[in-house]
Structure formats: C-alpha cells, structure tokens
Structure 1
C-alpha cells in the first residue's frame, strides 16, 4: 500500500494502473485487445477543451475511442483506442480524500475508463470495481 507523502513517478502510477488491469476478470481483460494505456502528468489543452474543462486538476482519466458497442467495420483506419490517466489530479484527489490507498483510487479511475470501452453505465462500472476488489 502506497503511503501519503512519498513521491509517485509516472512509471509507478503506470504500474498501479497496469496492476488494476491485471486484476480484472479474465472475460473483461481479454476484450481490451489493443487498447493503449498511458499515464501523463496532466491532460493537454486540446483534451480539456474537447471535454469543456478548464482546470486540468478536474480530469483524472480519459477514454479516447469508440466503445465496443459502437464500433463498425467502417471505422478502420482510426487512431488506436487509448486510456490515459493523469498523475497530478489523481494525487491531488488522493491527498484530499486522505482515507484510502492510492492503489484503490487508481483502480477506480482505470475501471471507470475501461467501462467506457465496454459502453457500461456508471452502475455497471461500480459492480466491475467490486469484482476487482475481491
């Protein structure tokens, strides 16, 4: 468990995110296919603008691509589907909460973004997170 106050690098946060993906039930993990996973300090200005956000600390992660439920054969030639986590906003939220492990918060953000890949509702995403906690 990660203790508050110790610096967390991009690589360490990526490792936490990949551990969250590895903990998914196999049926979900197999369907991720070629989804690119990355961790950055903050979302870029273009991403914030597309989402109608001004404060980069408000965005902890983003799913970029089309959900499996919306894909068609006509979509070939598009950029790869990506899940991006943003380290600084996650660390700020972790500091504000102060009552949970960083691993749990990263898992929550990862599962939320993976949920968009599957076209899941927020309720479905909470159920998936509960399964990953087991």
Structure 2
C-alpha cells in the first residue's frame, strides 16, 4: 500500500490484501480471537470452479470471500484442516472500485462477515462487530 497522499499506479497485490485482512483479524475482540488463533488466510484471484458450483454462484465476481471450518461449538476431529478464510482478490478489487469504499473497510467487512457466519451471528451482530474492527 502507499503512504497517504501518494498515488498508486497498480492494483493492490495479494500481499497488500493479506496485510489488511490480518490487521482486521487482529482487531477482533475476545472471544473471537481465542477461536481464530489458528485460522489460515488464503488470498486467491478467484474462487475455484468447485467452490462456485458448491455455493451455486454463477459469476466468480460475486464471491469476495468464504470461511471454511468446523462450525462453532463442534469439537475438532482428527484429520480436520485448520479453519481458513479465502479472500478473492479480483472480486474484492472490483467491489472496491464500484463502491468507493476504502479497501481497508471492504476487507474488514468481508473478514467480519465470514467469521460471523462461522459463529452464527446475526446481521446486526456482524455490523456491531464490524464497527469494533473499523480503523
């Protein structure tokens, strides 16, 4: 990312998005952080065809992120993969340009939304949590 006041002549990289997502995760309050300490973050250009098919999403630009992991409250089983958040760079960048929302706020929104689904939060709860992690 660039210093405030400087222009950027290229799209934010996967590393830029990862940095913003990790910052958003670090601002989540307890008890969320206790259950997300081992979350693996993936930044990919788009969701795979299999993910899109499983979620019945026809346009890859419609999916900005997804959380994978055992639902909250279920005990981990041997062989479980660690919980993961997948963020999709190109759809995020398109939404950023289309909405004019800051990239930091957009990524925090998607991260909170995905974590919120894992914990079974309502939309109102997710909005309150999002306010907590806003910069």
Band the TM-score falls in, shorter-chain normalisation: 0.7 to 0.9
Partner of 1:94: 96
| Structure 2 contact 27–132 (Cα < 8 Å) conserved | no
Moved segments of 4+, more than 3 Å: 1-6
Q: Structure 1 residue 5: deviation in Å?
A: 6.1
Question: Following the alignment from structure 1 to structure 2, what is the Cα–Cα distance between the partners of residues 10 and 125?
Answer: 25
- 3-state SS of paired residue (2:31): helix
Higher RCO structure, 1 or 2 (CA under 8 Å, sep 6+): 1
- TM-score, normalised to structure 1's length? 0.87
Structure 2 residue 75 is the aligned partner of structure 1 residue 72: yes
Count, aligned residues:
131
Structure 2 residue 23 is the aligned partner of structure 1 residue 19: yes
Residue number among 31, 35, 38 corresponding to 1:34 in the alignment: 38
Question: Following the alignment from structure 2 to structure 1, what is the Cα–Cα distance between the partners of residues 35 and 68?
Answer: 16
| Structure 1 contact 4–95 (Cα < 8 Å) conserved | no
- TM-score, normalised to structure 2's length? 0.86
Range with greater deviation from structure 2 (88-97 or 28-37): 28-37
Structure 2 residue 126 is the aligned partner of structure 1 residue 125: yes
Structure 1, unpaired ranges of 5+: none
- Deviation by residue 1:29-56 (Cα, 9 ceiling, x = unmatched): 2221322111111000010010011110
Q: Structure 1 residue 20: deviation in Å?
A: 0.7
CA RMSD of aligned residues (A): 2.0
